[in-house]
Structure 1
Amino acid sequence: MTIDEASRRYNIPLDILHEYESWGLCGAVKKMMGAWQYDDTDLERLSLIMTLHDIGFANSETETYMKLLVEDEDGGDQRLNMLEQKRKGILDEIHFREKQLNHLDYLRYSIRKGQRQTTEQE
C-alpha cells in the first residue's frame, strides 16, 4: 500500500506518514516504483502513533516511544514509564480543571444567591 493509499484508507495525515518514514522505523517498508509500500506491521505501528498523538504525546515523545518499541528489546520499562508520566500529567490536569469548575460553580452560586436576596427584598 502506498503512502497516499494508507493516508486515504486509514485517515492518517500525510505529515504523520512522512514523519514515520523519517524516523527510519519503516523496516518492513519497501520502496517499489518510487513509492513506499506499507505492510501490516507498518499499519499497526501507524495506528499506535495515532493513539500516542491522541493521548497528547508530542512528536519527539512519539518518536522516542516508537524507537524504544522497534529498536530496544528492553524498552518496555521505559515505554511504561513514559505512559505513566503522561497519565500523571493528564490526571494533574483533570484535578486542576476540577478545581477551576469548583471555583466557577461557587461564583455562579454567589450570583444566584445575591439575585434571590434582591428579589426577596423587593
Structure 2
Amino acid sequence: MNKKEVSQKYRIPIEILDEYESWGLCNVVKYVMGEWQYDDQDLDRLSTIMALHDVGFSNKEVEKYMRLLLETNDSKEKIISLLNNQRANKLKQIHLQEKQLERIDYLKFKMKNSKEE
C-alpha cells in the first residue's frame, strides 16, 4: 500500500507517516515508482506509534520508544521505564483533575446553600 492508501484505510494522518519515514526506521518500506510502499510490519509499527500518540507521548518520545523497540540490547527495561514515566504523568494529571472537580463541587455546594438563606 502506498502512503495515501495507508492514511485513508487506517486513518493515520499523513504527518505521522512522514514522521515515521523521516526517522529512518522504516527499513522495510520500499520506495517504488516514486512512492513509499508499506507492508504488514510497517503497519504494526504505525499502530504502535498511533497508540503512543493517543496516550500522550510527544513526537520525540515516540521516536525514542520506536528506536528502542528496534534495538536488541537491553531495550526492554528502557521501554518499560518510558511507559512507567508516562503512566506517572497521567496519574498526576488525573489527581489534578480530581482536585479541580472537588473545587467545582464545593462551589456548587456553596452556591446552593447561599440561595437557601
Structure 1 length-normalised TM = 0.93
Letter in 1 for 2:49: I
Matches within 5 A, 1:1-122: 1-117=1-117
After superposition, give the CA deviation of every residue in 1:28-86 in whole Å (9 maximum; x if it has no partner). 11111111110100000000000000000000000000000013432111111000000
Unaligned runs of 5+ in 2: none
Aligned length: 117
Partner Cα separation in structure 1 for residue 111 and residue 81 of structure 2: 45
Structure 2 length-normalised TM = 0.97
Unaligned runs of 5+ in 1: 118-122
Partner Cα separation in structure 1 for residue 33 and residue 95 of structure 2: 52
Letter in 2 for 1:114: S
Letter in 2 for 1:54: D
Aligned-residue sequence identity (percent) comes to 50
**Which consecutive aligned stretches of 4+ in structure 1 deviate over 2 angstroms post-superposition?**
none
